[in-house]
Amino acid sequence: MYDRESHYIGGRWVRAAKSDRLVVHNPADEAVLGHVPAGTPDEAALAVAAAVRAFDDWASRSVAERSEVIRRFTACLKGRAALLAKTITEEVGSPASFSARVQVGLPLLTFDSQPTHASEIVWHQRVGHSMVLREAAGVVVAITPWNYPLHQIAAKIAPALMVGCTVILKPSELAPFNAYLLAEAADEAELPDGVLNVVFGTGAGVGSSLVAHPDVDVVSFTGSNETGRIVSELASRSVKQVHLELGGKSPNVVLDDADLEQCVAEGVARSMVNSGQTCTSLSRLLVPKRLLSQAEEIAASAVANHPLVDPSAEVEGIRPTVYSDKLAHLPTTFALGPLVSANQRERVVDFIRRGVHDGARLVAGGPQRPSGFDQGYYVLPTIFSNTTPDMSIVREEIFGPVLCLQAYDGSDDSAVTMANETPYGLAAAVRSKDPERALAVARRIRAGQVEINQARFNPFAPFGGFKQSGHGRELGTWGLEAFLQTKSIQLPPSGS
């Protein structure tokens, strides 16, 4: 049981004022995992004041000095890697090896890479008689979701700290314990007081106070579109810089020359990563109409590649989706844990029921509770066919293990039209035997990242959305740019 009673503010653990605690459950067995403070607006204000106090000193340090602190912080995180992975498995339900390699491996890579990215920024340059400077944008509020909790925290706070911003982190109330460990690592690494503050609580209780606070300069938010709109409106009242990383309904386009067997099996896998709770989940598989029934058969059998498991006792030999520098291909066989919460399960099951009601055909799965899983927030991997573009399962982000097959008339033009037929624009994929043809289609898709034929995720390339998937970019040097301001100093003629 994790029982936490404090926020991390101004370099020390500050006992929460309210005796109320938020309860966190283990999604695999529904047992109470622990409690965290339900932060208050006063505690939000305390954290902002600490970040404001710390800003001048931190921002004025050299890149080399800040790099040294980031390296110490990274080392302290690495020392907790196994515990972080175990904690994320317990709070999110990700299978153990997925937690170790992706949920923890990826954020460590992000932290590790900051000094290199900082060395790529042009911190000052001359433009005629002007000196152009890049400076830390100020006090940053980072608000993060639960699905890749440490990765989303790292993608914001590592670059923000690197460039000299001070930060208040408000992690998801569904998966807060990894952020606790992160604060412990910051404390052990002796980050200067107030440079990183972590406040626990709900969006309404503490998140909105942070976003609205007049002393905050930047709000970096990852989460749902609904909350993103609220955050954006609140922040606009004091004209803050806002970055939004929101949802997706990403198309996986199989062109008519692709290897159908391979592409459909991979397509099923790409929709099931982290039990479908991935913002870039390729949740729409577009196949030429004449190949639809073949695709249905392949998809129905590929579901067997994704058994449900108790995430802490993952079956040996079933590989999770992994991130590693050496990974050439996405495995098509990996296990699925439960969804994160009872609400999330209810929401996903409701979508499945609506899909059936609207006339889509179940190729695999369904709304029923998986046999052998009487407890836990498990949902069967589910595949729909006979879908139409107006169905809610096709239009809306489900955020669960649900894949929709969509049939296009076979031409590349109609594939592109269908791929772009969504208010979202976060990710996409194109599969073809002809890489030039795939690239031509990829260029026409309105999305922030498009992968061609099993190309793997690049944690140093810019990440973010087109259209209603948000704005701003994270990761790589683009991640640092998001937390910089630009200043021009006009210099007088020499001798004046």
Q: How far apart are CA 414 and CA 408, in angstroms?
A: 6
Q: Does 321 bind ligand NAD (CB under 6 A)?
A: no
Smallest gap from Cβ 328 to ligand NAD, in A, equals: 25
Nearer to ligand NAD, 267 or 479 (CB): 479
Smallest gap from Cβ 34 to ligand NAD, in A, equals: 17
Nearer to ligand NAD, 143 or 442 (CB): 143
Classify each residue of 185-194 as buried b or exposed e, where b means 16 or more C-beta atoms within 10 Å of its C-beta.
bbbebebeeb
Residue 305 burial by Cβ neighbours in a 10 Å radius (0-12, 13-18, 19+):
middle
Half-sphere exposure of 459 (CA within 13 A, CB side): 20
Q: Taking a C-beta distance cutoff of 8 angstroms, is the pair 427, 270 a contact?
A: no
Q: Does 227 bind ligand NAD (CB under 6 A)?
A: yes
User: Among 182, 178, 172, 191, which residue's Cα sits nearest to residue 39?
Assistant: 172
Binding test (CB under 6 A) with ligand NAD, winner from 49, 61, 63, 224: 224
Binding test (CB under 6 A) with ligand NAD, winner from 266, 296, 310, 397: 397
With CB under 6 A as the rule, give the number of residues binding ligand NAD: 32
Nearer to ligand NAD, 77 or 231 (CB): 231
Q: Does 67 bind ligand NAD (CB under 6 A)?
A: no
Rg over CA atoms, the chain? 23
Binding test (CB under 6 A) with ligand NAD, winner from 95, 247, 288, 338: 247
Smallest gap from Cβ 472 to ligand NAD, in A, equals: 10
Q: In what order do the strands lie in the sheet with 251-254?
A: 361-364, 382-385, 402-408, 284-288, 251-254, 427-431, 449-452
Report the DSSP pairing between strands 284-288 and 251-254.
parallel
Binding test (CB under 6 A) with ligand NAD, winner from 88, 211, 264, 438: 211
Q: Does 150 bind ligand NAD (CB under 6 A)?
A: no
Q: How far apart are CA 443 and CA 459, in angstroms?
A: 20
Nearer to ligand NAD, 36 or 231 (CB): 231
Binding track, positions 6-45, relative to ligand NAD; x by CB under 6 A: ----------------------------------------
Q: How far apart are CA 218 and CA 238, in angstroms?
A: 10
Q: How far apart are CA 49 and CA 197, in angstroms?
A: 10
Residue 463 is classified by DSSP as B
Smallest gap from Cβ 147 to ligand NAD, in A, equals: 5
Q: Which of residues 169-188 bind ligand NAD (CB under 6 A)?
A: 170, 172-173
Binding test (CB under 6 A) with ligand NAD, winner from 22, 54, 196, 279: 279
Q: For residue 286, what is the enclosing H or E element?
A: strand 284-288
Smallest gap from Cβ 439 to ligand NAD, in A, equals: 24
Smallest gap from Cβ 299 to ligand NAD, in A, equals: 23
Binding test (CB under 6 A) with ligand NAD, winner from 230, 253, 416, 484: 230
Smallest gap from Cβ 325 to ligand NAD, in A, equals: 22
Half-sphere exposure of 402 (CA within 13 A, CB side): 33
Q: Which of residues 454-473 bind ligand NAD (CB under 6 A)?
A: 465, 469-470
Q: Is 5 a catalytic residue?
A: no
Q: How far apart are CA 249 and CA 232, in angstroms?
A: 21
Query: Among 245-253, 301-309, 317-325, 385-393, which window interacts with ligand NAD (CB under 6 A)?
Result: 245-253
Q: Does 143 bind ligand NAD (CB under 6 A)?
A: yes
Q: How far apart are CA 403 and CA 385, in angstroms?
A: 9
Q: How far apart are CA 365 and CA 352, in angstroms?
A: 9
Q: Does 479 bind ligand NAD (CB under 6 A)?
A: no
Joined together, the tokens standing for residue 174 give 């569904």
Binding test (CB under 6 A) with ligand NAD, winner from 88, 218, 246, 364: 246
- Who's near 472: CB < 8 A, 6+ residues apart? 220, 242, 243, 244, 245, 464, 482
Nearer to ligand NAD, 248 or 267 (CB): 248
Q: Taking a C-beta distance cutoff of 8 angstroms, is the pair 307, 333 a contact?
A: no
- Determine the number of helices (DSSP H) and then strands (DSSP E) in the chain: 16, 23
Q: Which residue's C-beta sits nearest to ligand NAD?
A: 203
Q: Does 245 bind ligand NAD (CB under 6 A)?
A: yes
- In the set 91, 173, 245, 314, the catalytic residue is 245
Q: How far apart are CA 260 and CA 413, in angstroms?
A: 19
Binding track, positions 409-448, relative to ligand NAD; x by CB under 6 A: -----------------x----------------------
Which residues form the interface with ligand NAD (CB under 6 A)?
Answer: 143-147, 152, 170, 172-173, 202-204, 207-208, 211, 222-224, 227, 230-231, 245-248, 279, 397, 399, 426, 465, 469-470
Catalytic residue set:
245
